């Protein structure tokens, strides 16, 4: 198997016209996101005109010309398991595709499994074994070995065949419309802005806190998110979730009191002033602006019974339509629906996914 390694502007230049004129782009990315908030792109793989291209973004100066070519038209982007690849594109190119075909999601609609990996899907559809022996590669290290390059190239080698086969099978089974709807929803979700003042609701243990404590947690969660972005570190590298909850309960007023909480010595030294300011701001929040206590879904009366009833309906519909239960109605989606109903179908609560589109047609809730 051969591939073309693009590690200079001279090699990239003739490829740009091919990219710009392509109606479909078959892509993958290799990146590192271990100790940073944002993913760091190490390699961009592209299958184009029967050739596998490995584009080295660390060696190319005119990287913006590459992004301009990739996003020059409303073309279809084909990935396998695209959510993290879309994150990479959002960060590096500051853009998202207008249309996406995710072969993993397509395979799920066709009964291959809920989250089948690329190698597993290639083996089932193409009857080819793809080695996964380079998964722990540091894609920012140079030089890349021949084995690493070959591994990366194979991640796009079979995308064209998978796309052709799966799109045809979606048409044959009458599921193309369902799939397209799911892809649209995926892209819309990626475009939704984070609301910093609402991040406290996602903190583990937030449901145990009283409104006055939640007012403090709201400030701390917002500060942690903004600090993670500005310092390009994972949020738990700033302060762990359980520490935020502990700080919201104890509400230390001095560095001495802060040292008596679960915060690490290094974090206290670096962030003490900012943390104490957040706590003070939260404590000064007027009572009428305190968040309401967070209700756990399992604390509602009849939750277990209601969940079981919906789950049974999902299982029957999934079996009848050769769909994974996780795709049609996961626990998260069922809980979203039940919370919506318990809250009186309030417009303040996001309308559940299973009450609209293809899921609603199958479940009729």
Cis before 301 (ω within 30): no
Question: Chain centroid to CA 260: how far?
Answer: 36
182 carries an active-site annotation: no
Q: Indicate which residue of 53, 112, 118, 151 is catalytic.
A: 151
Q: Indicate which residue of 30, 56, 102, 169 is catalytic.
A: 30
For residue 194, the 8-state DSSP code is P
87 carries an active-site annotation: no
CA distance 281 to 218: 10
Q: Indicate which residue of 155, 182, 213, 219 is catalytic.
A: 155
28 carries an active-site annotation: yes
Angle between helices 241-250 and 265-283 (to 10 degrees): 50
306 carries an active-site annotation: no
For 128-162, the three-class secondary structure string (H helix, E strand, C coil) is CCCCCCCCCCCCCCCCCCHHHHHHHHHHHHCHHHH
User: How many residues are there in the chain?
Assistant: 365
- From the list 238, 246, 234, 240, the residue with the least C-alpha distance to 279 is 246
Q: Kindly provide the residue ranges of all beta strands, DSSP E only, lying in the chain, ordered along the sequence.
A: 4-6, 24-32, 40-48, 51-55, 76-79, 99-102
Q: Indicate which residue of 52, 56, 85, 213 is catalytic.
A: 85
85 carries an active-site annotation: yes
CB atoms within 10 A of CB 288: 5
Active site residues: 28, 30, 85, 151, 155
């Amino acid at each position: 198997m051969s591939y073309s390694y693009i590690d200079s502007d001279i090699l990239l230049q003739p490829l740009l016209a091919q990219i710009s004129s392509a109606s479909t782009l078959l892509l993958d990315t290799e990146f590192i996101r271990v100790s940073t908030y944002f993913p760091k792109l190490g390699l961009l793989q592209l299958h184009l005109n029967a050739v596998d291209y490995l584009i080295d973004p660390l060696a190319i100066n005119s990287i913006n010309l590459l992004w301009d070519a990739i996003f020059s038209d409303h073309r279809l982007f084909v990935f396998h398991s695209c959510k993290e690849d879309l994150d990479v594109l959002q960060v590096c190119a500051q853009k998202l595709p207008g249309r996406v075909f995710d072969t993993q999601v397509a395979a799920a609609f066709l009964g291959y499994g809920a989250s089948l990996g690329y190698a597993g899907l290639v083996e089932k559809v193409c009857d080819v074994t793809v080695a996964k022996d380079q998964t722990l590669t540091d894609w920012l290290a140079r030089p890349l070995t021949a084995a690493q390059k070959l591994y990366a190239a194979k991640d796009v080698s079979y995308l064209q065949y998978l796309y052709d086969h799966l799109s045809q099978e979606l048409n044959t089974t009458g599921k193309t419309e369902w799939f397209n709807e799911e892809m649209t929803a995926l892209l819309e979700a990626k475009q939704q802005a984070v609301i910093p003042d609402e991040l406290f609701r996602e903190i583990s243990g937030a449901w145990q806190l009283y409104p006055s404590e939640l007012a403090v947690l709201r400030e701390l969660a917002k500060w942690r998110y903004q600090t993670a972005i500005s310092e390009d570190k994972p949020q738990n590298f700033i302060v762990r979730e359980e520490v935020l909850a502990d700080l919201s309960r104890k509400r230390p007023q001095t560095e001495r009191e802060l040292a008596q909480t679960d915060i690490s010595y290094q974090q206290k030294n670096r962030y003490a002033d900012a943390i104490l300011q957040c706590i003070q701001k939260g404590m000064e929040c007027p009572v009428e602006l305190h968040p309401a206590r967070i209700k756990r879904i399992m604390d509602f009366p009849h939750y277990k019974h209601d969940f079981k009833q919906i789950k049974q309906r999902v299982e029957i519909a999934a079996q009848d339509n050769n769909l994974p239960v996780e795709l049609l109605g996961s626990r998260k989606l069922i809980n979203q629906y039940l919370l919506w109903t318990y809250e009186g179908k309030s417009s303040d609560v996001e309308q559940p996914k299973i009450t609209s589109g293809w899921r609603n047609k199958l479940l009729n809730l």
